[in-house]
């Protein structure tokens, strides 16, 4: 199986602060990888580097075997879509208008409308609320709308930044099931960035643990969930 996303020796500084040290990992095609770590570990910085929002000191990012230049929009053009932390929806626009915003690079109307129906299939709550202002959705529904908006770009690689943040546990479980269903039914490659290690590792074929900017462990999601170090550090067990 080939790797859809490959990160090699990525090092990022914010002024004098080194946020990532020589980070390398792969996400195989059609699989879910979970990037877990505590506050400030550097998870969001990895996503920013993939999306060209920070300029790495060194390292390479490849999507589908092609190197992505460090420029905003370069990853999107190669089929990467980000569902950002904190939702960042257009609060005054309706749910459906927000979803269409995600499809601005898709010129084929039929393909766009088919994806909209798929998104409504994954998230029936969004269909019920399609004319409602996005700003009036619950936190969990806003997260669903943000994931739906990223899917509307029909990406080959979907980046999810902390989808469980601030969301009730029952909705986190629902989101987890939907993320697995999206990856399976569309054969989509997913990089799931989470502080909620339990949720993320239980979905992932590959888990990557980041601590103070370094990869300290990689393994299958199941192996990491069973590891005494992970259970003590991230699962409170
Ligand atoms: P969280 O889960 O809390 O979002 P994270 O794992 O995503 O954390 P990052 O946001 O990537 O962590 O931050 C990694 C490190 O880089 C932290 O020490 C953070 O304070 C620092 N950092 C992040 N953004 C900046 C910035 N714009 N300027 C300076 N330092 C920053």
Tens-of-pLDDT digits for all 237 residues of the chain? 677 999 999 999 999 999 999 999 999 999 999 999 988 999 999 999 999 999 999 999 999 999 999 988 899 989 999 998 767 899 999 999 999 999 988 888 999 999 999 999 999 999 999 999 999 999 999 999 999 999 999 999 999 999 998 888 898 999 999 999 999 999 999 999 999 999 999 999 999 999 999 999 999 999 999 998 888 887 766
pTM: 0.93
Q: How far is CA 124 from CA 39, 98, 99, 116, 182, in A?
A: 32, 16, 14, 11, 14
Taking the CA of residue 193 as reference, the ligand 1 atom at the shortest distance is 7
> What pLDDT is attached to residue 201?
95
| Segments in the chain forming alpha helices (H) | 43-50, 74-77, 95-101, 109-122, 124-128, 139-151, 169-186, 197-203, 221-226, 228-234
Say how far apart CA 46 and CA 153 lie, in whole Å.
Answer: 21
Residue with tokens 């900017």: 213
pLDDT at residue 117, rounded to an integer: 96
Q: Which of 215, 213, 208 is nearest to 14 (CA)?
A: 213
DSSP code at position 165: T
For ligand 1, whether the C-beta of 41 sits within 6 Å is yes
Q: Are 13 and 57 in contact (CB under 8 A)?
A: yes
What does the alpha-carbon distance between residue 223 and residue 90 come to, in Å, rounded to a whole number? 40
Alpha carbon of 43 to ligand 1 centroid (Å): 8
Counting atoms of ligand 1 from 1, which one is nearest the CA of 210?
A: 6
Query: Kind of pairing, strands 32-36 and 206-211?
Result: parallel
Q: Can you say whether the dihedral through the CA atoms of 110, 113, 117, 123 is positive or negative?
A: positive
Q: How far apart are CA 123 and CA 147, in angstroms?
A: 10
pLDDT at 235: 75
Question: What pLDDT, on a 0 to 100 scale, did the predictor assign at position 3?
Answer: 77
Domains of the chain and any CATH numbers: 1-79+156-237 (3.40.50.300), 88-154 (no CATH)
Closest residue by Cα to atom 9, ligand 1, is: 42
Q: How far is the CA of 39 from the centre of ligand 1 (A)?
A: 8
Q: Give the integer Cα–Cα distance in Å for 154 and 152.
A: 5
CA separation for the pair 221, 169 (Å, rounded): 20
Categorise residue 119: left if φ over 0, alpha if ψ from -120 to 50, beta otherwise. Answer: alpha
State the pLDDT at residue 1: 62
Q: What is the pLDDT of residue 237?
A: 61
Q: Whose CA is nearest to atom 29 of ligand 1?
A: 14
> Ligand 1 centroid to 44 CA: how many Å?
7
Q: Would the CB of 164 count as within 6 Å of ligand 1? A: no
For residue 23, the cross-strand partners are 10
Region for residue 226 given its phi and psi (left: phi exceeds 0; alpha: psi -120 to 50; beta: otherwise): alpha
Residue 150 CA to residue 153 CA, distance in Å, equals 6
- Is the Cβ atom of 37 under 6 angstroms away from ligand 1? yes
Report d(CA 31, CA 158) in Å as an integer: 11
Q: What is the pLDDT of residue 233?
A: 82
Top mutation candidate among 45, 192, 208 for ligand 1, by most atoms within 8 Å of CB: 45
The protein residue with its alpha carbon nearest to ligand 1, atom 2, reads: 39
């Amino acid at each position: 199986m080939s790797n859809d996303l490959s990160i090699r020796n990525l090092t990022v500084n914010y002024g004098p602060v080194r946020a990532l040290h020589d980070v390398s990992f792969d996400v195989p095609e059609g699989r879910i990888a979970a990037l877990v770590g505590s506050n400030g570990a550097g998870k969001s910085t990895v996503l920013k580097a993939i999306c060209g929002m920070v300029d790495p000191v060194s390292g390479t990012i490849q999507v589908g075997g092609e190197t992505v230049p460090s420029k905003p929009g370069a990853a999107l053009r190669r089929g990467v879509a980000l569902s950002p932390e904190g939702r960042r929806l257009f609060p005054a626009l309706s749910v459906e208008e927000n979803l269409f915003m995600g499809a601005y690079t898709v010129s084929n109307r039929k393909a766009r409308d088919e994806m909209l129906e798929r998104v409504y299939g994954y998230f029936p709550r969004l269909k019920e609320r399609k004319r409602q202002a996005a700003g009036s959705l619950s936190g969990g529904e806003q997260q669903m709308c943000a994931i739906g908006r990223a899917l509307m770009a029909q990406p080959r690689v979907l980046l999810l930044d902390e989808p469980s943040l601030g969301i009730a546990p029952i909705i986190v479980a629902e989101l987890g099931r939907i993320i697995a269903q999206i990856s399976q039914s569309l054969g989509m490659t997913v990089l799931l960035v989470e502080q909620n290690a339990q949720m993320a590792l239980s979905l992932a074929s590959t888990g990557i643990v980041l601590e103070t900017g370094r990869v300290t462990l990689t393994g299958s999601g199941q192996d990491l969930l069973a590891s005494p170090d992970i259970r003590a550090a991230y699962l409170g067990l």
